[in-house]
Amino acid sequence: MTDSTGSVQLEHRAIDRWRAIDWWFNQRFGRLYDLLLTHSWGKRLRRTLPHIQGPRVLEVSFGVGFLMSQYAHAYEVTGLEYNPRCIEATRRRLERLDLGAKLVEGDAQALPFPDASFDTVINTDAFTLYHDPHRVLSELLRVLAPGGRLVVMEYDYPRNGNLLGRLWVLVARRIMMMPRLDLEALHRSSGSPYQDYDVGGFGAFHMYVSQKPLLAKVDRSTHAYDPTQSS
Ligand SMILES: C[S@@+](CC[C@H](N)C(=O)[O-])C[C@H]1O[C@@H](n2cnc3c(N)ncnc32)[C@H](O)[C@@H]1O
């Protein structure tokens, strides 16, 4: 995102438009979303599974709960979502599969959980929809226990700059007018060591896996993250 006020406003408008599309799509076509997830996007989402470390797992912005249904049998799972329709769809899905999880309605920008309460935090295909991504990242790190894992999946320009991956992002940005976020820079600014995995779309889908340093502190009021201070 850029510093100029005009561009920030434009970016916020793109975020609002996509939040509205996502909300509407989930309300009207939850089942279709489900089919797409199960048969296509689901394969990519499942790439997060080997990176989960338990026992306490939080998934933020879980949508219709496809990914959660793939690991809920193995961990103590909590999920946070702001769309009540998604929460209901996920509840039904988990019930059907005889799985349990604590599902909470809330905003990723102000997580209602104490510091250091999870061993893994997962977030997929949602970061570009947040107005204040810095704040969300600091919230995800705050609730993560020292040594815990943060797994974030999102689209962006491919690391190796290949033409097809760049084209994918350009179409998303310019034609579909999807918001874009430099998640690499965001992760770098957090100070936590991370790895960027290519998970498809000619390198345009990234999975960032980071480890919260053992000595790390997030100031809850300012959202400043200090990777060197003990909490
Ligand atoms: C594109 S969907 C992705 C859902 C799921 N993670 C997946 O990969 O299929 C984005 C999700 O982010 C949720 N979301 C957007 N803004 C949010 C916020 N501020 N707090 C919590 N959830 C939010 C939406 O309700 C939606 O379910």
pLDDT digit string (tens) for 27-83? 666 677 777 666 678 889 999 999 999 999 999 999 989 999 999 999 999 999 998
Asked, for residue 221, whether it belongs to a domain, the answer is no
99: domain CATH number?
Answer: 3.40.50.150
Asked, for residue 225, whether it belongs to a domain, the answer is no
pLDDT band at 7 (very low <50, low <70, confident <90, very high): low
How far does residue 173's CA lie from ligand 1's centre (Å)? 19
Instruction: From the CA of 80, give the closest atom in ligand 1.
Output: 21
pLDDT band at 8 (very low <50, low <70, confident <90, very high): low
- Residue 222, pLDDT score: 60
CA-to-CA distance for 55 and 212, rounded, in angstroms? 16
Using the predicted structure, report yes or no on whether residue 224 has a pLDDT greater than 80.
no
Q: What is the CA radius of gyration of the chain?
A: 17
pTM of the model: 0.86
- Residue 223, pLDDT score: 60
Asked, for residue 70, whether it belongs to a domain, the answer is yes
Of 19, 15, 24, the residue nearest 85 (C-alpha): 24
Per the prediction, the chain carries an average pLDDT of 86
Encoding tokens for residue 138?
A: 């600091």
- Residue 27, pLDDT score: 67
Q: Are 227 and 192 in contact (CB under 8 A)?
A: yes
How far does residue 55's CA lie from ligand 1's centre (Å)? 23
Ligand 1 pocket mutation pick from 31, 39, 61 by most atoms within 8 angstroms of CB: 61
Asked, for residue 12, whether it belongs to a domain, the answer is yes
Question: Which pLDDT tens digit goes with each residue over 175-192?
Answer: 777 877 888 888 888 888
- Residue 5, pLDDT score: 53
Question: Which pLDDT tens digit goes with each residue over 75-113?
Answer: 999 999 998 988 998 999 999 999 999 999 999 999 999
For range 107-123, the mean pLDDT? 97
How far does residue 172's CA lie from ligand 1's centre (Å)? 18
Q: Are 206 and 181 in contact (CB under 8 A)?
A: no
Question: What range does the domain containing 202 cover?
Answer: 5-213
Of 201, 83, 194, the residue nearest 140 (C-alpha): 194
Encoding tokens for residue 66?
A: 């496809």
Q: How many domains does the chain have?
A: 1
> Atom 10 (ligand 1): residue with closest C-alpha?
126
Asked, for residue 230, whether it belongs to a domain, the answer is no
- Residue 179, pLDDT score: 79
